[in-house]
Structure 1
Amino acid sequence: NQAVRELLELPQGNAFRENVLELLISWRVTMEINNILETEDREVFMTLSQTYQEWKEATKQEGIEQGLEQGLERGLERGLERGKLEAKLESIPRLLALGLSVEQIAQALDLNLEQVRQAARE
């Protein structure tokens, strides 16, 4: 129990502290799942309870942040791609008015013929 208290007194971000806490939390979860606690273990278990909750919340928050970041990146990429495609499609009537053929426009804008034909009809 004293060792756990000393460990918790180390500054957050300390690599040793983080590694040992991860092991202790893993042990705590295993003990909780298997419901195997001796009296001595219960004291350590209680000391780790707050740390476990903090770790659990931090891990959850980290997952949420990563998910949001990935979602934002994907959304931006899709938005940029859609914007580029829309700009290409909007330019088709002007290019046709200049006398370019559907085939020339498709090649120049890197679009398939059906996309160019459909944009020309709209």
Structure 2
Amino acid sequence: LGIIGRSGAGKTVLMHLLRGVEQPPTSGRIIYHVAACNTCDFMDVSSSVGKTCPHCGGVLSARDIDLWNESDELLKRRLMRRTAIMFQRTFALYGNDRVIENVLHALDDIEYPPEKAINRAADLIDEVRL
């Protein structure tokens, strides 16, 4: 997802609402359609519904999460770990680290299995052609 607009238009406010930080919305709802494992609560994109959970081997099923009305705090935290904001300036990255190290930091933040992280990081970098 990319958001562009003039300075002061509310881009950062929108991103913080979507990520579940700061103030809740004054109206409307923010609903995430995800694939979640009922066994270990691993969460992935909705296109992963029906696939095997990479953490426990369970099956990922469709789940809708209303971010600001969800009562399960653990589930909200897991969703927030899967949602990142990356600004154009390097202060959102580890500016002195290589690209792969930045990706590895992000994978660690979402508790991606360490033994699979280097291969996943390389795949992600290939996907975006860096």
TM range, smaller chain: under 0.3
TM-score by length of 1: 0.24
TM-score by length of 2: 0.23
User: Higher helix share goes to which structure?
Assistant: 1
